Structure 1
Amino acid sequence: MAFHHAQHAQSLNQSLSEVNGAINVSFEFFPPSTPEMEQLLWSSVRRLEPLKPKFVSVTYGANSGVRDRTHSVIERIQQETQLVAAPHLTLVDASDEELVDLAKQYWQSGIRDIVALRGDLPAGQPKPTRFAADLVRLLRSVADFDISVAAYPEGHPDARNAQADLINLKRKIDAGANRAITQFFFDVESYLRFRDRCVTAGIDVEIIPGILPVTNFTQLKRFAAMTNVALPQWLHQQFSGLEDDPATRQLVGANVAIDMVKVLSREGVKDFHFYTLNRAELTYAICHTLGVRPKVAV
């Protein structure tokens, strides 16, 4: 029995040492819509800033009110923090001329990183004629931005099939994107298979896994239904019976994300993008466990 415990301890130590300090992170926030949410956002930004992420992205809605909030969050991150701010930019609801003007404004204000997306289509709008690849080309025509695009290990909800979706990603990379960030997922094998298929298709940029630390499984089921993401049976079992137990949900959610990152790290993944939902606690705890910590002054 003692030998078995020693083996288990050795395996755990090895598993943690494989990831400690060897990974890079980035974080996603969204613009707040109430004073309470604004307070939560900025306390989260401050909490995560010392972890020195590669960049932090800020999501962008189709209507002008949300867009204005995105710009103000980006400006404040630039002015008040040491973080690299990467605004989301979408084609929906904006002409090419408006997008060129906005890109020029960003470049002039010191923004060098952009997450380029087609954007969600408003209900009743006809099928799009412009796509994320067009936005990447447009940004490239304005300035030498560092451009991230979206990837979908389980397929975009609008894609005809997985191959068509992969071809679309290749178009975005060929148009000049620097990397792809995936939709959140929980089936690690689906990400690894997708990464292999990207290599086979000649996509030679980094495919950064998007990690969503779960605190609210009911909300997650809603997100997953909208985005074509499979929730494995084991995940349902992990959160079963915890509907009225938020403290335990936090622990379970952190454990799930840590396990995923450990497995992905062993498979050679070095960069991770966390969908924070503007909450710092879980993401900070996961990063700490994985060796991403504030630099201590000597």
Structure 2
Amino acid sequence: MPTPNFSIEFFPPKTVEGAEKLRATRQKLSELHPKYFSVTFGAGGSTQNGTLNTVLEIMAAGEDAAPHLSCVGGTRESIRAILNEYKGHGIKRLVALRGDLPSGYGASGEFRYASELVEFIRAETGDCFHIEVAAYPEVHPQARSPQDDLQNFARKVRAGANAAITQYFYNADAYFQFVEQTRKLGLDVPIVAGIMPITNYTQLMRFSDMCGAEIPRWVRLKLASFGDDSASIKAFGLDVVTQLCERLLAGGAPGLHFYSMNQAQATTALWQRLV
């Protein structure tokens, strides 16, 4: 079985202090030698410059980096300009997403779905970019049905995606069933498991409510029972997520993509238990 690939996600900082903190975090996480770092892209391109600047700094340090590119609220002209800019900087990897409209936006732009974005990238740039797309083992919260969601994923792959990264989850069975369903459709791209370390109960609940990720009842109750005891929350969370990662890797997951939240400690602790 090939060695799994580990990668790490950041979001672009909004302040000078945030940039300094992320720089220190990235330097620590670089010691783990991830395959690449990815950097998120705000809805409607709201963090476009921050995304690019962060990616370029990572690349200047000798690491591979992949900007996220969300198309909602964008036009063909604006996306074409971004792609040309990325090509000019020697960027070879993209995470192509639909994204969500920020509040205050009316129209959704010229792209309705991530599959249309992938198709456009391929038409404009050929094989210039390695394209990753999103996958939802527990079903996208806006999907009409699990079957519709699976077909949406298939369209992205058939439009030219090279690989996928899942939304985070804590139920390995959901991941394995999703992968099995994609294989039955003839889709053979690697599906990397997205991993969210557990360090803060309130934050985790808020994120999970927004993105539709299910926290198993026993995990939720155990976390709630710790109250403000952050050390116990982190220790329990590390055990739970380590066991999840071990099961995923043993079951053939081709890699893990860590949602770092611009923090080094939790991802490093997980990584050290797995390698």
- What's the TM-score bracket when you normalise by the shorter of the two chains? over 0.9
Q: CA offset at residue 151 of structure 1? A: 0.5
* Contact kept? 1:182, 1:208, Cα under 8 Å: yes
Q: Which of 29, 32, 42 lines up with 2:13 in the alignment?
A: 32
Q: CA offset at residue 127 of structure 1? A: 6.6
Distance 1:65 1:172, change over 3 A: closer
Partner of 1:138: 120
Letter in 1 for 2:79: L
TM-superposition CA deviations, 1:21-47 (whole Å, max 9, x none) = 943200000011233322221111101
For the pair 1:265 / 2:246, whether they are aligned, the reply is: no
Partner of 2:170: 186
Distance 1:169 1:107, change over 3 A: same
Q: CA offset at residue 93 of structure 1? A: 2.4
* Contact kept? 1:104, 1:142, Cα under 8 Å: no
Q: CA offset at residue 121 of structure 1? A: 2.1
Partner of 2:47: 66
Shift >4 Å, 4+ stretches: 126-129
TM-score (norm 1): 0.86
Partner of 2:58: 77
Letter in 1 for 2:55: I
Q: CA offset at residue 262 of structure 1? A: 0.7
Partner of 1:288: 272
**Rounded Cα–Cα distance in structure 2 between residues aligned with 1:204 and 1:65:** 33
* Contact kept? 2:73, 2:107, Cα under 8 Å: no
**Rounded Cα–Cα distance in structure 1 between residues aligned with 2:174 and 2:46:** 36
Identity of aligned residues (%): 39
* Contact kept? 2:134, 2:167, Cα under 8 Å: yes
Higher relative contact order (CA 8 A, sep 6+): 1
TM-superposition CA deviations, 1:72-101 (whole Å, max 9, x none) = 11111111x121110000112221111111
Partner of 2:135: 151
Q: Which of 99, 102, 117 lines up with 2:97 in the alignment?
A: 117
TM-score (norm 2): 0.93
Q: Which of 80, 91, 94 lines up with 2:71 in the alignment?
A: 91
Q: CA offset at residue 205 of structure 1? A: 0.5
Please tell me the root mean square deviation across aligned C-alpha atoms, in Å. Answer: 1.8
Partner of 1:223: 207
What runs of 5+ residues in structure 2 fail to find an aligned partner?
A: none
Partner of 1:11: none
Q: CA offset at residue 126 of structure 1? A: 5.3
Partner of 1:103: 83
* Contact kept? 2:26, 2:264, Cα under 8 Å: yes
For the pair 1:207 / 2:187, whether they are aligned, the reply is: no
Larger Rg: 1 or 2?
A: 1
Q: How many residues get paired?
A: 271
**Rounded Cα–Cα distance in structure 1 between residues aligned with 2:45 and 2:157:** 28
Q: CA offset at residue 240 of structure 1? A: 2.6
